[in-house]
């Protein structure tokens, strides 16, 4: 099959990663892969300069292979490795490939190495456009002709809802186009019978996250990164001058960016299209909220306005007007910042490398399986699983949101968003606004102890902030226990305030202090402290130690009545090794730290042309970070504790590297990454591995190592970790409240908390699930400090497939 990929509509980070994944997965599936430059416009223009042969300097010994390459029909990996030399479209103008002009050629053949390193590039390297001509039947007829001329019968389109609608329409009209072209004598009988059906699959590249039936669109996480980076920068100047900033972010019909930025960066007020202010006098509502924040001592104000924001009568709410209101009514020194295209640009974050890679692979599978009777599919992600959904259903649902907003049916617009959107909005209200009245009556209020355990992880502070603000809203007393159980025994406990935790969303590390001491250090003394400080509930934020600590406390209930209170564990660890949860706080931050470090290392490795860099990661006995990091950085090999290392494996790996470097085009060898988890093997250490590669590499490649160590704990937590922290933390608080209230029904002296009141909050396929710690222990590998089952095991297979290892050895 000849398979082409194009990017269309507004660009987004991760589009180039889609192209890379489609080209590589296509080649691995035996397809001939093509790229269409400049979106549908390229399809319409096609190749006018057909005289240019593929003039690659081809040292194939086998004449048949040489012929296949020359005729553009190379299909196996080795031929495709030789075919691509990594220069396609790389000169910045997109006009040259391998030294020959591409002018007049919009549909070009792409080999394996042409897309080398593309996952790290922002925007789309193959160009995108908004094509008016493609909107016309004549334009689409020309596009059909151009595809048939090159023998292409499958198309992967990455773009927004407009692009996907265009794709579906094109496919539905295809049979009539083929008949017309045949009757006009433009295509042969053979072409007529061969191209009766066009296979199409869509991927959603859109920074707004505005497509229904998928949790995330490609590019949205990176745009959120850019916004939060900007806010973190603005915050320091806002606080210095005690200013108000009104930030306009993208999102015409979708408030996802504004909402998530509001939660992640701790805004004072947000305006989104789906949920306009409830009253006509929203100016009063906003000013009251901000005035209250100022009265408790807040020095800075942040209001986020989605570009499509409006009031309940659909009158647009503009950033400039919001600024004027703040200046005139509150006397604040107010400024507007419009982020504009800054949001689109830059290097993709880790998730915008992983998601397009996995989705690109799925797109190729879907296109191969497509028949005239199957609908055009859109590749989405739902509940941490890559999905296929009927493309037009997703488009129709997306449009329904815009229609509901236009009809002022905002309840419907909200109902068409996923539940996480609604939870995030509730979370924003709870954590950002200061409420005058306490929600709960005196007897229902709790003294909640909050403790960090184990190593620091991004999002610990954001989770604490959310918990504190929830407590204050409800009337509970939030108590910080500093330095874990050690601090508890030293009475390092103090009450946290609404303002005191204000800037904590963006702070890395642990503001409370954390260590690995377990309550078993002196369980009786721990119980005495619980009693002395009259804790009604406990929240532990941490990794495997926190889980262990909760287990010890639950077991301790048989001895100490003080432990008969609700207790929760919110997993936060860069290793992501807490059983039964797919994500821990901090793992996204860590993955991004790894991607940043590896991008820099890879650059250095590439500069020396032939260097293999062995990068050692943390993660203890859990290979999550190493494996997902390898997928996000395009590492050639990955070593994990789950799989271990042995001689046969190493022999095959050396053989692979030798073949791979041997196949690199002359003078075009590149640096390659190998990622090794620190505990992958006691014998085959990182330095031993590096030495082995150096010796075995001979003249072909050299080797160095880098240990990332504590860099992986990350600096500033990522928006994903911050938003997740707030969402999970609020659920923890609601859980504690609920169990506390049922315990209140029992006499104080003989209160007996049920086992399920000591639980861990887990993410299982995107749903939040409570697992009693007594149940969780059955799923834990206590010796290796990790879960017995892992969801990411298959990712390693793809790391090796996309590096070519599985094919070459
Ligand atoms: P974004 O989310 O960035 O706006 P989009 O894919 O929705 O991306 P559009 O400008 O709507 O962006 O569409 C991109 C291109 O897709 C158009 O320029 C046009 O060539 C094609 N297209 C869109 N809608 C249709 C349609 N109904 N019929 C044919 N082609 C279409």
Residue 219: CB within 6 Å of ligand 1?
no
Q: Which of 140, 162, 209 to mutate to test the pocket of ligand 1 (most atoms within 8 A of CB)?
A: 162
Residue 206: CB within 6 Å of ligand 1?
yes
Task: For residues 136 and 174, state if they share a domain.
Answer: yes
Average pLDDT over residues 444-465: 96
Nearest to 80 by CA among 809, 630, 807: 807
The band of 809, judged by pLDDT with boundaries at 50, 70 and 90, is confident
- Residue 62 or residue 256, greater confidence: 256
SS3 of 276-294: CCCCCCHHHHHHHHHHHHH
Task: For residues 52 and 102, state if they share a domain.
Answer: yes
Q: Does residue 732 form part of some domain?
A: yes
| CA 131 to centroid of ligand 1, rounded, Å | 8
pLDDT at 95 (0 to 100): 42
The band of 669, judged by pLDDT with boundaries at 50, 70 and 90, is confident
Of ligand 1's atoms, which has the minimum distance to the CA of residue 161?
7
Task: For residues 465 and 559, state if they share a domain.
Answer: yes
The band of 605, judged by pLDDT with boundaries at 50, 70 and 90, is low
Residue 9: CB within 6 Å of ligand 1?
yes
Taking CA atoms only, the protein residue closest to ligand 1 atom 14 is 9
Write the pLDDT tens digit of every residue in 327-358.
999 999 999 999 988 888 789 999 999 999 99
| Domain's final residue, options 327, 344, 361 | 344
| Domain's final residue, options 324, 344, 364 | 344
Pick from 97-101, 186-190, 556-560: least confident? 97-101
Average pLDDT over residues 33-57: 77
Give the whole-number percent of the chain exceeding pLDDT 90: 78
Residue 161: CB within 6 Å of ligand 1?
yes
Rounded CA-CA distance 385/216 in Å is 11
Which residues are CB-neighbours of 254 under 8 A, at least 6 positions away? 208, 209, 210, 273, 274, 306, 308, 401
Asked whether residue 88 carries a pLDDT value surpassing 70, the answer given is no
pLDDT at 109 (0 to 100): 87
Q: Does residue 770 form part of some domain?
A: no
| Domain's final residue, options 344, 370, 385 | 344
Asked whether residue 102 carries a pLDDT value surpassing 60, the answer given is no
Q: Does residue 490 form part of some domain?
A: yes
The band of 103, judged by pLDDT with boundaries at 50, 70 and 90, is low
Write the pLDDT tens digit of every residue in 159-203.
999 999 999 999 999 999 999 999 999 999 999 999 999 999 999
Asked whether residue 687 carries a pLDDT value surpassing 70, the answer given is yes
Task: For residues 604 and 638, state if they share a domain.
Answer: yes
Write the pLDDT tens digit of every residue in 146-163.
999 999 999 999 999 999
pLDDT at 58 (0 to 100): 52
The band of 98, judged by pLDDT with boundaries at 50, 70 and 90, is very low
Residue 162: CB within 6 Å of ligand 1?
yes
Q: Does residue 655 form part of some domain?
A: yes
- Residue 325 or residue 714, greater confidence: 325
Residue 651: CB within 6 Å of ligand 1?
no
Task: For residues 362 and 443, state if they share a domain.
Answer: no
Enumerate the known binding-site residues: 10, 130-131, 160-163, 206-208, 243, 250-252, 307, 335, 341-344, 516, 573-577, 611, 618-620, 678, 704, 785
Residue 429: CB within 6 Å of ligand 1?
no
Catalytic residue among 85, 208, 210, 721: 208
Q: If you average pLDDT over every residue of the chain, what do you get?
A: 91
CATH code assigned at 619: 3.40.50.460
Q: Does residue 788 form part of some domain?
A: no
Q: Does residue 179 form part of some domain?
A: yes
Enumerate the known binding-site residues for Mg(2+): 161
The band of 225, judged by pLDDT with boundaries at 50, 70 and 90, is very high
Give residue 318's domain range. Answer: 221-344
pLDDT at 324 (0 to 100): 97
Taking CA atoms only, the protein residue closest to ligand 1 atom 16 is 163
| CA 199 to centroid of ligand 1, rounded, Å | 19
| CA 49 to centroid of ligand 1, rounded, Å | 27
Tell me the C-alpha to C-alpha distance, in Å, between residue 317 and each of 308, 324, 433, 779.
8, 12, 20, 51
Q: Does residue 432 form part of some domain?
A: no
Taking CA atoms only, the protein residue closest to ligand 1 atom 3 is 10
Task: For residues 747 and 699, state if they share a domain.
Answer: no
| CA 269 to centroid of ligand 1, rounded, Å | 33
Average pLDDT over residues 447-464: 96
Task: For residues 340 and 352, state if they share a domain.
Answer: no
- Please state the pTM of the whole predicted model: 0.93
The band of 603, judged by pLDDT with boundaries at 50, 70 and 90, is confident
Asked whether residue 92 carries a pLDDT value surpassing 70, the answer given is no
Average pLDDT over residues 10-14: 95
Average pLDDT over residues 589-607: 87
Burial of 770 (0-12, 13-18, 19+ CB in 10 A): middle
Pick from 81-95, 176-190, 440-454: least confident? 81-95
Enumerate the known binding-site residues for beta-D-fructose 2,6-bisphosphate: 516, 573-577, 611, 618-620, 678, 704, 785
Asked whether residue 504 carries a pLDDT value surpassing 90, the answer given is yes
Task: For residues 633 and 653, state if they share a domain.
Answer: yes
pLDDT at 394 (0 to 100): 93
Task: For residues 147 and 264, state if they share a domain.
Answer: no
| CA 84 to centroid of ligand 1, rounded, Å | 30
Task: For residues 722 and 710, state if they share a domain.
Answer: no
Asked about 208 being catalytic, the answer comes back as yes
CATH code assigned at 526: 3.40.50.450
Task: For residues 576 and 722, state if they share a domain.
Answer: yes
pLDDT at 70 (0 to 100): 67
Q: Does residue 781 form part of some domain?
A: no
| CA 137 to centroid of ligand 1, rounded, Å | 14
Residue 134: CB within 6 Å of ligand 1?
yes
Residue 131: CB within 6 Å of ligand 1?
yes
Question: What is the count of structural domains for the chain?
Answer: 4
Write the pLDDT tens digit of every residue in 358-370.
999 999 999 999 9
The band of 53, judged by pLDDT with boundaries at 50, 70 and 90, is very low
pLDDT at 91 (0 to 100): 44
Question: DSSP secondary structure string, 77-122?
Answer: HHHHHHH--S-TTTTSSS-EETTEE-TTB-EEE--GGGGTTGGG-S
Rounded CA-CA distance 557/586 in Å is 30
Q: In what order do the strands lie in the sheet with 32-36?
A: 107-109, 32-36, 2-7, 154-159, 199-204, 377-382, 385-390
Pairing of strands 672-677, 702-707: unpaired
Tell me the C-alpha to C-alpha distance, in Å, between residue 364 and each of 22, 194, 348, 508, 633.
6, 20, 22, 39, 21
Residue 10: CB within 6 Å of ligand 1?
yes
Asked whether residue 74 carries a pLDDT value surpassing 80, the answer given is no
| CA 164 to centroid of ligand 1, rounded, Å | 7
Average pLDDT over residues 728-732: 96
Task: For residues 334 and 353, state if they share a domain.
Answer: no
Q: Which of 140, 157, 163 to mutate to test the pocket of ligand 1 (most atoms within 8 A of CB)?
A: 163
Average pLDDT over residues 286-310: 95
Pick from 25-39, 50-64, 399-413, 474-488: least confident? 50-64
Average pLDDT over residues 279-300: 93
């Amino acid at each position: 099959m000849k398979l082409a990929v194009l990017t269309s509509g507004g660009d987004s980070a991760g589009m180039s990663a889609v192209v890379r994944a489609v080209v590589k997965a296509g080649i691995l599936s035996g397809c001939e892969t093509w790229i269409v430059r400049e979106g549908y416009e390229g399809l319409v223009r096609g190749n006018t300069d057909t005289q240019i042969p593929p003039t690659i300097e081809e040292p194939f010994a086998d004449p048949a292979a040489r012929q296949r390459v020359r005729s553009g029909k190379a299909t196996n990996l080795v031929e495709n490795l030789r075919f691509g030399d990594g220069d396609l479209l790389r000169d910045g103008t997109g006009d040259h490939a391998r030294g020959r002009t591409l002018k007049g050629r919009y549909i070009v053949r792409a080999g394996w190495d042409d897309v080398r390193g593309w996952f790290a590039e922002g925007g789309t390297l193959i160009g995108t456009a908004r094509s008016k001509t493609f909107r016309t039947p004549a334009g689409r007829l020309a596009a059909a002709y151009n595809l048939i001329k090159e023998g292409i019968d499958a198309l992967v389109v990455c773009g927004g809802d407009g692009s996907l609608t265009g794709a579906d329409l094109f496919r539905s009209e295809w049979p009539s186009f083929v008949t017309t072209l045949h009757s006009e004598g433009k295509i042969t009988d053979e072409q007529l019978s061969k191209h009766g059906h066009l296979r199409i699959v869509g991927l959603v590249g859109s920074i707004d996250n505005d497509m229904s039936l998928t949790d995330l669109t490609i590019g949205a996480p990176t745009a959120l990164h850019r916004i939060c980076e900007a806010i973190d920068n603005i915050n320091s100047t806002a606080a210095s001058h005690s200013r108000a900033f009104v930030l306009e972010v993208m999102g015409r019909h979708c408030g996802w960016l504004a909402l998530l930025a509001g939660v992640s960066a701790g805004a004072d007020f947000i305006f989104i299209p789906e949920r306009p202010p409830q009253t006509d006098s929203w100016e009063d509502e906003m000013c009251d909220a901000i005035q209250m924040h100022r009265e408790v001592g807040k020095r800075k104000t942040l209001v986020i306005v989605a570009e499509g924001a409006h009031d309940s009568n659909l009158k647009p709410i503009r950033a400039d007007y919001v600024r004027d209101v703040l200046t005139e009514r509150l006397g604040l020194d107010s400024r507007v910042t419009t982020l504009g295209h800054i949001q689109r640009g830059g290097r993709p974050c880790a998730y915008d490398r992983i998601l397009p890679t996995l989705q690109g692979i799925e797109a190729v599978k879907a296109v191969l399986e497509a028949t005239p009777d199957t609908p055009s599919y859109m590749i989405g992600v739902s509940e941490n699983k890559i999905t296929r959904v009927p493309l037009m259903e997703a488009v129709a649902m997306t449009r329904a949101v815009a229609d509901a907003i236009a009809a002022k049916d905002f309840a419907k617009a909200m109902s068409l968003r996923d539940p996480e959107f609604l939870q995030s909005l509730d979370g924003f209200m709870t954590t950002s606004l200061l409420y005058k009245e306490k929600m709960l009556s005196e007897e229902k209020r709790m003294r909640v102890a909050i403790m960090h355990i184990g190593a620091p992880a991004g999002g610990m502070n954001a989770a604490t902030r959310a918990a504190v603000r929830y407590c204050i809203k409800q009337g509970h007393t939030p108590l910080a226990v500093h330095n874990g159980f050690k601090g508890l025994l030293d009475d390092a406990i103090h009450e946290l305030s609404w303002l005191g935790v204000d800037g904590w969303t963006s702070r890395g590390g642990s503001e409370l202090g954390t260590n690995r001491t377990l309550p078993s250090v002196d369980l009786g003394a721990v119980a005495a402290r619980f009693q002395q400080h009259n804790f009604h509930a406990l929240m532990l934020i941490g990794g495997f130690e926190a889980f262990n600590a909760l287990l010890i406390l639950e077991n301790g209930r048989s001895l100490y009545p003080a432990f008969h209170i609700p207790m929760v564990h919110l997993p936060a660890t860069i290793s992501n090794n807490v059983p039964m949860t797919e994500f821990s706080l901090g793992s996204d931050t860590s993955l991004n730290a790894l991607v940043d470090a590896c991008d820099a290392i890879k650059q250095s490795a590439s500069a020396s042309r032939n260097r293999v860099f062995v990068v050692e990661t943390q993660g203890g006995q859990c290979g999550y970070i190493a494996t997902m990091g390898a997928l996000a950085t395009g590492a050639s090999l990955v070593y994990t504790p789950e799989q271990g290392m042995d001689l046969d494996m190493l022999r095959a790996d050396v053989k692979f590297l030798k073949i791979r470097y041997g196949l690199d085009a002359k003078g075009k060898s590149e640096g390659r990454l190998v990622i090794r988890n620190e505990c992958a093997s006691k014998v085959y250490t990182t330095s031993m591995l590096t030495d082995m590669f150096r010796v075995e590499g001979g003249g072909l490649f050299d080797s160095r190592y880098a240990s990332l160590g504590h860099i992986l704990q990350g600096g500033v937590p990522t928006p994903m970790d911050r938003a997740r922290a707030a969402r999970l933390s609020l659920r923890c608080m609601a859980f504690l409240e609920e169990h506390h209230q049922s315990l209140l029904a029992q006499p104080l002296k003989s209160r007996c908390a049920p086992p399920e009141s000591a639980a861990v909050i887990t993410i299982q396929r995107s749903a939040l699930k409570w697992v009693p710690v007594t149940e969780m222990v059955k799923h834990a590998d206590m010796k290796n400090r990790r879960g017995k089952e892992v969801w990411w095991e298959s990712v390693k297979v793809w790391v090796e497939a996309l590096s070519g290892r599985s094919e070459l050895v």
